[in-house]
Amino acid sequence: MSGSCPGEVVLNASLADTYLADLVARLTDLRNTAAEPLDRAAEAMAACIRRDGLIYIFGSGHSHMLAEEAHFRAGGLAATVPMLAAATMLHEGAAVGTKLERLPGLAPTLLARYPVGANDVMIVVSTSGVNAAPVEAAMFGKERGATVIAITSESYSLAAANGRTRIADLADIVLDNAAPPGDATQEAGAEGMRVGPVSTVIGAALLNAALAETARRLIEAGDRAPVYLSANMPGAAARNEDLIRRYRPRNPHL
């Protein structure tokens, strides 16, 4: 590229465009492929909020970002509670966390601080869908009577299962992000290296679509939707403080 500086990394604009076009197509497909499970997920979450339940969200590795995506989010629901376990996240040691999320028996101990019950919904996020931590998290929710929603890839988890239980096998509702096995979607170079993962973008879209529809259903039914306002918007301070007072006793991350 003309005008580039020595040592400057120049993006392959063609691959960037291909990746974005592929991502747009995948997101467009969700309007058809995910319509029915999104409807069921929104109905379950609206019912949960009407009975003053909570929407717990768990993911390990990069999937934990969806738990944080919903937490204290402008335009998001205050009834969401991220289930954050540093041992299975990335910031305190990605390599160790990757090993720990595969370790059987760990998840119930990590999640014991969250009093999930029959009034609640528990969303478990895992694109591969077979590691011990998310599978045991789904079991944790089921054992406590919560409605369990999985955000996963059916094709990836089927390819990876090799006889193992998948979160898709345990969940009451499955939101399929349709990420391919390995997640990366674009071939880069002659050696077959693949780049351009899609699971985080599509997973966040599915999650926010479900939460938005939940809010709409509550509002249209005449119920109060506990939606945060951006701190920079008029009236946000009073509204958000009210929601924090309401949910802080049950959300350790507020």
Task: Judge whether 10 lies within some domain.
Answer: no
Provide φ and ψ at 173, rounded to 5°. -135, 135
Task: Judge whether 16 lies within some domain.
Answer: no
- Buried b / exposed e along 19-28 (16+ C-beta atoms within 10 A): beeebeebbe
Q: What is the CATH number of the domain that holds 140?
A: 3.40.50.10490
Identify the domain containing residue 149 by its residue range: 36-250
Percent of the chain scored above 70 by pLDDT? 88
Task: Judge whether 81 lies within some domain.
Answer: yes
What pLDDT digit, counting tens, does each position of 100-122 carry? 666 677 888 889 999 999 999 99
What does the pLDDT read at residue 14? 87
Average pLDDT over the chain, rounded to an integer:
90
The number of folded domains in the chain is: 1
What does the pLDDT read at residue 189? 78
Task: Judge whether 191 lies within some domain.
Answer: yes
Query: What value does the mean pLDDT take over residues 209-219?
Result: 98
What does the pLDDT read at residue 151? 98
The 3-state secondary structure of 95-109 reads HHHHHHCCCCCCHHH
What does the pLDDT read at residue 155? 95
DSSP-derived pairing of the beta strands 184-187 and 55-59:
unpaired
Q: To the nearest 10°, report the CA torsion of 25, 211, 144, 72.
A: 110
What pLDDT digit, counting tens, does each position of 40-94 carry? 999 999 999 999 999 999 988 788 889 999 999 999 999 999 998 766 766 776 6
166/179 Cα distance (integer angstroms): 15
Task: Judge whether 183 lies within some domain.
Answer: yes
Task: Judge whether 9 lies within some domain.
Answer: no
In the structure, what pLDDT confidence band is assigned to residue 99 with cuts at 50, 70 and 90?
Answer: low
DSSP class of 76: S
Task: Judge whether 63 lies within some domain.
Answer: yes
In the structure, what pLDDT confidence band is assigned to residue 1 with cuts at 50, 70 and 90?
Answer: very low
Kindly tell me the burial class for residue 7, based on how many C-beta atoms sit within 10 Å of its own C-beta (0-12, 13-18, 19 or more): exposed
What does the pLDDT read at residue 212? 98
Task: Judge whether 18 lies within some domain.
Answer: no
Query: What value does the mean pLDDT take over residues 226-243?
Result: 95
